[in-house]
């Protein structure tokens, strides 16, 4: 059920601080100095969302085993770009790999595909409900602990960030569906971090939120010929941000915690500079800040995971005196390319594998004794497309 939101244009403008109300004095005359009461869109819509909470069903992903704090993790799977209306065949493939945990790292549903602009994000809520109803997904979730972060299509709208006016309600839908921790629910954004394992084998998983606080993207001027590799320009202005001040401070504190190995999850790609779609390269200052902060972390091994691109590959970067690795896995069931075409279309000196535009998921295998990590990109039948091992 969608509840109507009825506002006169004048009331909306006044409430948003875009116009000032006309007020009368004690003699029935108009006041000389009107007073505006500025409100954000979220504040204006608060009564509407309070009513929604009372009247609509909030979808939930279903039962999920907890990841025990003393678990010695040796295999983690992850993926991104899962359309709720497409085949759910990948869950069985991933289950056969017997991971100890699975990371959903963005575009976990496509809730904006049918969005008609309503403040209640009905299409997003319906997408979550449809995903929860798939028996393949429910069976997988009942067996394997899951952690989740979001990207644009489950944040609310393609390529959007902090200016999306309904982001607070989108966050509530996300946190309800994925049963986010009390700590995550207590703050704006969906970023999360867990440390699991015994001393000497402690793994920290950091899930960044690259949506809730992110500045608007800087677009290229209009052209009759659309660029083949995106439409965005780098924004190196001082105020532009990906994570926002609060999340930056949180990340710095997380990276100072003792851990033997860290997995840093970003819904968008970090290392690459080869395209003009969404990536950390949209904000060069922020990308450099992230790489510097990761390099300055408390002593530990590290690997970065990303999604978003509907293609997968392995990336390598020497920065801050170390070699950094990133595995991009996308998408679980919504491929846009093929085995070979994307590699030629997007040459990249930082990518050490082909760029596979087919359905895929990723694995991270940890050999604690040898202090060796292996990252693998696998296909729809669990065939290996790319693999890289490295010591830490």
* pLDDT one-digit tens code per residue, 7-49: 333 344 334 444 444 444 445 455 556 666 678 888 899 999 9
Residue 38 β-bridge partners: none
Predicted pLDDT of residue 368 = 98
The token duo for 301 is: 């091994």
Predicted pLDDT of residue 363 = 98
**What residues does each domain of the chain span?**
62-391
Predicted pLDDT of residue 329 = 98
Query: If 0-12 CB within 10 Å is exposed, 13-18 middle and 19+ buried, where does residue 239 land?
Result: exposed
Q: Which residues of the chain have a pLDDT value below 70?
A: 1-37
- Residues 277-299, buried b or exposed e (16+ Cβ, 10 A)? bbbbbbbebbbebbbebbeebee
Contact between 310 and 81 (Cβ < 8 Å): yes
Report the distance separating Cα 380 and Cα 44, nearest Å: 45
Query: If 0-12 CB within 10 Å is exposed, 13-18 middle and 19+ buried, where does residue 258 land?
Result: exposed
Only one residue has tokens 């899962």, namely: 82
Contact between 247 and 263 (Cβ < 8 Å): no
Predicted pLDDT of residue 16 = 41
Only one residue has tokens 């959007």, namely: 160
Question: What CATH code would you report for 62-391?
Answer: 3.60.21.70
Predicted pLDDT of residue 35 = 64
- What does the DSSP 8-state code read for residue 282? G
Only one residue has tokens 């969005």, namely: 115
Report the distance separating Cα 140 and Cα 124, nearest Å: 22
Predicted pLDDT of residue 338 = 81
């Amino acid at each position: 059920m969608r509840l109507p939101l009825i506002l006169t244009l004048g009331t909306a403008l006044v409430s948003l601080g875009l116009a000032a109300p006309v007020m009368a004095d004690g003699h029935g005359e108009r006041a000389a100095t009107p007073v505006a009461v500025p409100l954000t869109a979220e504040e204006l819509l608060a009564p509407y969302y309070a009513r929604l909470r009372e009247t609509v069903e909030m979808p939930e992903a279903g039962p999920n085993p907890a990841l025990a704090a003393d678990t010695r993790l040796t295999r983690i799977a992850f993926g991104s770009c899962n359309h709720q209306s497409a085949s759910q065949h990948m869950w069985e493939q991933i289950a056969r790999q017997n991971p100890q945990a699975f990371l959903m790292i963005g575009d976990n549903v496509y809730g904006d595909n049918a969005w008609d602009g309503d403040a209640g994000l009905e299409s997003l809520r319906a997408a979550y409900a449809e995903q929860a109803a798939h028996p393949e997904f429910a069976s997988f979730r009942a067996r394997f602990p899951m952690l989740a972060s979001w990207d644009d299509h489950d944040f609310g709208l393609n390529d959007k960030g902090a200016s999306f006016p309904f982001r607070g309600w989108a966050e509530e839908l996300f946190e309800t569906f994925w049963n986010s921790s009390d700590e995550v629910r207590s703050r704006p954004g969906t970023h999360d971090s867990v440390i699991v394992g015994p001393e000497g084998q402690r793994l920290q998983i950091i899930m960044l939120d690259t949506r809730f606080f992110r500045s608007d993207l800087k677009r290229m001027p209009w052209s009759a010929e659309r660029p083949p590799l995106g439409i965005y320009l780098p924004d190196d202005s001082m105020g532009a941000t990906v994570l926002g001040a609060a999340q930056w401070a949180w990340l710095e504190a997380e990276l100072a915690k003792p851990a033997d190995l860290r997995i840093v999850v970003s819904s968008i790609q970090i290392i690459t500079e080869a395209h003009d779609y969404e990536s950390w390269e949209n904000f060069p200052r922020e990308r450099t800040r992230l790489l510097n902060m990761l390099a300055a972390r408390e002593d530990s091994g590290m690997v970065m995971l990303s999604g978003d691109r509907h293609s997968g590959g392995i990336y390598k970067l020497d920065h801050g005196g170390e070699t950094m690795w990133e595995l991009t896995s996308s998408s679980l069931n919504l491929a846009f390319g093929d085995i070979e075409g994307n590699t030629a279309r997007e040459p990249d000196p930082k990518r050490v594998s082909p760029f596979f535009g087919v359905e895929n998921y990723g694995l991270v295998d940890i050999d604690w004794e040898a202090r060796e990590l292996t990252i693998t990109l696998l296909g729809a039948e669990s065939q290996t497309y790319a693999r890289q091992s490295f010591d830490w």
